[in-house]
Structure 1
Amino acid sequence: MRSRMTAMARPGRGCGPAVLVGTGRGRAYDGHMKRPVLLVLLVLITVAAVVAVWWSGRQPAPEGAVNDVKPFQYQADTRPTVEVYGDSISQGDSSNFSSGNTGPTSWVSHLGGPDGLRFVGGYARPGMKMTEAASEASNIVVPQQTASTVVVELGTNDINTGGEWSDFAEALEDFTSHLDVEPSGIVVVGVGPIDRLDPDAIAAWNERTQDLADEKGWLYVWPFSDLTDADGYWVPEYTEDGLHPNKSGAQVLGANMAEEVRAALAER
């Protein structure tokens, strides 16, 4: 019995080649694959139609949306750079003062702005006296100073613990000798209000400090004028304990400090 697929050589008059005859209705097998090709064409036509509909529905961008875009312009930071050495009034609630991680109750946090100062390092510690800063200067002063100005905010703990001004003054001179800046680049900050002390005693202390600064060629500032009342005590809204500024007080102190330091630098 013959199989359904039989290869037969049918002799022809010209002895032509053999023809492979398959099953079915006698059609020759040509190996083509029409159905996959048709599917691919249908997919391409469908995608093209969807893209055409989407494109036709797009609205052109308003002209202003393009023309209003301004090119980036680099602006160099020309603010004076400052290092700060201070006590808890400078430290506030800073997590890492020397690295620039200052907190909102530190006036250093509020020195910025286009007309302010740029803080680049320093050292502050709660309770630190000027006499302590002088003895530790080799450890706390930035080894490679890059700041154009150094702000020294110390003396509060010296007077608040009954220290003598002469000891403070000697320590201040010692400490500043470790600073790698010109005398005109050193800013000494007067002691602020201390509610437990007589304002006249603080004023007398600051007057002597200012005279010493003038003698040595340092700059002197007292940025507490907006923080004290007519009697020389803290304005209550700016402090919680009559010694340290709160957040609002630190904001005022920082703004005043930046303004007075810049003014002093402009006059030197």
Structure 2
Amino acid sequence: MTGQAPLEIDTSKPHPARMYDWFLGGKDNYPVDEELGKQLLALDPRVPTLARVNRAFMHRATRWLARNGVRQFLDIGTGIPTEPNLHQVAQQVAPDARVVYCDNDPIVLAHAAALLRSTPEGVTEYLQADARDPAAILDKAGKVLDFDRPVALSLVALLHFVSDEDGAYELVERLMAVLAPGSYLMISHASGEFDEEKAATATEMYRRRGLTMALRGREEIARFFDGLELVEPGVSMVPDWKPELGEAVPVEGDQRLPGYAGVARKP
């Protein structure tokens, strides 16, 4: 296993990976995660559905990428394992696929064994690093992946936790600059443009707990794909990205879930 030694788990404030786990019905979270999760749920009952919809998008996009010849995946902001994981989807299509997972939450490291069950032909690896440190990620991932060959970079439900001030756009540019032509970028991202008042309230909830929430609009999310060739249907609402490639997630009430997704190719 690549990466640093396990860190002490901080249960004094929520962590996005553990909150995501709570929204998905998992048990690898703490009261502080559940507390904020319940507050967000009271603000917008669709949040758990959005988490499931993001997960389903990852499955569809990974399946599409593997069917279109991608054999290497770098998944940053992995989160706590929830089957099927990215490597299981990719290796079901291409048993020789190589997958590197990256997250900064020690609880994900504790579950890394679940992420490392690869096909005999393929490889899965886990490294512990912060998304805001692309140099460290690339250095460690480069020991497993061949950056002279195409890689799919997965940033699913991650970038809304990285502010412009923390260099969200520069982070994506830095990562994609190293990847070979023919590589892909896959992103899903929560948006605040459908209800600005709710978005401002959610952002303030995170801020009070020392967390970042950057709910961008569609045009701001599309900026992450600058210089890349978008795959149809372009930057779309998350459930609308190639729904035929996976099972639909039931959505009650307002169908306009506050998020966008897209996949693009590096020319």
Calculate the TM-score normalised by the size of structure 2: 0.40
Calculate the TM-score normalised by the size of structure 1: 0.39
Q: Which has the larger radius of gyration?
A: 1
